[in-house]
Amino acid sequence: MATLQSTGLGSGLDVNGLVTKLVNAERTPKQQLITKQQTTVSTQISAMGSLKGALGAFQNVLSPLKTTEAFNVRAAVSGDEEVFTASATSAAPTGSYDIEVVNLAAAHQLSSEKFANSKASVGTGLLTLSVGSKSFTVDVQAGSDSLEGIRDAINKAPDNTGVRAAIVQGTDGAHLVLTSATTGAANGIKVTAADGDGGLSKLTYEAASGNNANYKELRAAKDATIKIAGYEHKSAKNVVTDAIDGVTINLLKVTEEDSPVSLNIDANVDAAMTRINNFVSQYNALATTIGGLQSYDASTQKAGPLLGDAMLRGIDGDLKSALVKPVEGASGTYSTLASLGIKTNKDGTLTVDSAKLKTALQTNFDAVSEVFGSENGIAARLDKVISPHLAGDGDIALRNQALDKRSKTLTKDLETLDTRMKALEDRYMKQFTSLDTLLSSMQNTSTYLTQQLGNLNGSNSS
């Protein structure tokens, strides 16, 4: 009689293999669905990040173009940059000026009378130093009352208002040199002494009262003096900011008598060209990003992550509309980007005809400024398209919130599936273990019956 045969333990039934296959058959389609959805959500999150980044980068280049004041950059050109250099803001009126630099602003500098050496005692007490209306006091104590000690006390004073002290060794002895850190006639140095042993009186100085015998004036405190179009202007510093509206003049050297240097203020065509080219480059980057997100390649049947997305279609359409419409209020030859030499390509990007753009800027800078920077200009219109989408409660933020919520839900679904599959595995394991035990018992019974039948056949033969 044939016996039940199987390989393995017990009955020979491969319980672990059977359970694994049954659980995998249950898990695989569900897990694949969740994984596919997770991939889709992750791709869309990345796509929204790319879109937001491209919109934000483009919005940044709109800032210096959004108003005519910001767009109207000025160029200030000095006729001799060894005499002065200059810069101008959009507030500067265009024009040409003749400038004479009569004298430069100077910081007050004093040198004390000679002392035997820098280490000999000068005196103790309170030494007060003033520059203009500001002052500070150092307490000179015995043991630190030499020129070196006084120099260090001045330089290290925490409330020093702008006096630098140094010691100069001459053939006649040591001299304390005091220099104001601030130029201008109003910033002269004054030194007074009080208390102590009276020795500090050798270092006092007050020109207004005639107390100036203790020092030699190496350099007088002096304002800068310039003449613009024949009119005199004074400045406490060698950087003049209040002579011509919006113009900063950096004085470097005195001009020769009756030899003024020209200063020309004009529209900065090169700076405007740079801003417009930056605008075009960044817009092209945005257009390329949008194109990739909603692309479709028929040959590979590969689609962009936001193909057919209504929000993206809306943004794309609004941007293109804002670009091509004529600017309301602009008159004459220049009212559109195309009239400035900026044309739209078939793929949605822009191309600049540099020669045509430069001619427009040189011919009518203010008209070009209106096209970009007026209230209804290109930059303002584009900014109005972009801003709502980038707002904290805008559609990109809301979409990201929804995607993040969906991502968390899918992660939880995967955890739930793991829990269910573990329970299913335990149930199958229990069922097949019972079956294995039953088959093993049947195997043993079969073996016993076979043996008994064999014994019985042997007895009959005898």
Torsion 215-216-218-224 (CA) sign? positive
Q: Give the whole-angstrom CA distance, residue 250 versus residue 280.
A: 35
Q: Give the whole-angstrom CA distance, residue 386 versus residue 373.
A: 16
Q: Give the whole-angstrom CA distance, residue 346 versus residue 353.
A: 16
Task: Output phi, psi for 365, to 5 deg.
Answer: -60, -40
Torsion 394-400-404-409 (CA) sign? positive
**What's the number of CA atoms in the CB half-sphere (13 Å) around residue 120?**
11
Q: Give the whole-angstrom CA distance, residue 243 versus residue 261.
A: 15
Q: Give the whole-angstrom CA distance, residue 299 versus residue 29.
A: 29
pLDDT by 10s per residue, the chain, length 462: 333 334 334 556 677 888 888 888 888 888 889 888 888 889 899 999 999 999 999 999 998 898 888 888 888 999 999 999 999 988 888 899 999 999 999 999 999 999 999 998 999 999 999 998 899 999 999 999 999 999 999 999 999 989 999 999 999 999 999 999 999 999 999 999 999 899 999 999 998 787 789 999 999 999 999 999 889 999 999 999 999 999 999 999 999 888 899 999 998 899 899 999 999 999 999 999 999 999 988 888 898 998 989 999 999 999 999 999 999 877 678 999 999 999 999 989 999 999 999 999 999 998 999 999 888 899 999 999 999 999 999 999 999 999 999 999 998 988 888 888 888 888 887 877 777 676 666 666 667 677 767 777 666 665
Residue of 373, 369, 393, 391 lying closest to 381 (CA atoms): 373
Q: Tell whether pTM > 0.85.
A: no
Task: Output phi, psi for 205, to 5 deg.
Answer: -155, 130
Q: Give the whole-angstrom CA distance, residue 211 versus residue 441.
A: 126
Residue 103: the pLDDT is 95
Residue 244: the pLDDT is 92
If residue 219 lies in a helix (H) or strand (E), which one and from where to where?
strand 215-219
Q: In this structure, what DSSP letter does residue 403 have? A: H
* DSSP secondary structure, 223-259, as one string: -EEEEETTEEEEESSSEE-SSSTTEEEEE-SPPPTT-
Strand intervals (E) in 58-203: 74-78, 84-88, 95-103, 107-112, 125-131, 134-140, 163-170, 173-183, 189-194
Strand intervals (E) in 329-448: 342-344, 350-352
3-state secondary structure of 104: coil
3-state secondary structure of 416: helix
Question: Which residues 6+ apart lie within 8 Å of 230 measured at CB?
Answer: 98
Tokens of 380: 């303002």
Question: Which residues 6+ apart lie within 8 Å of 206 measured at CB?
Answer: 190, 191, 192, 212
**Contact between residue 341 and residue 350 where contact means Cβ atoms under 8 Å apart:** no
Question: Which residues 6+ apart lie within 8 Å of 97 measured at CB?
Answer: 228, 229, 244, 262, 263, 264, 265
Q: Give the whole-angstrom CA distance, residue 408 versus residue 404.
A: 6
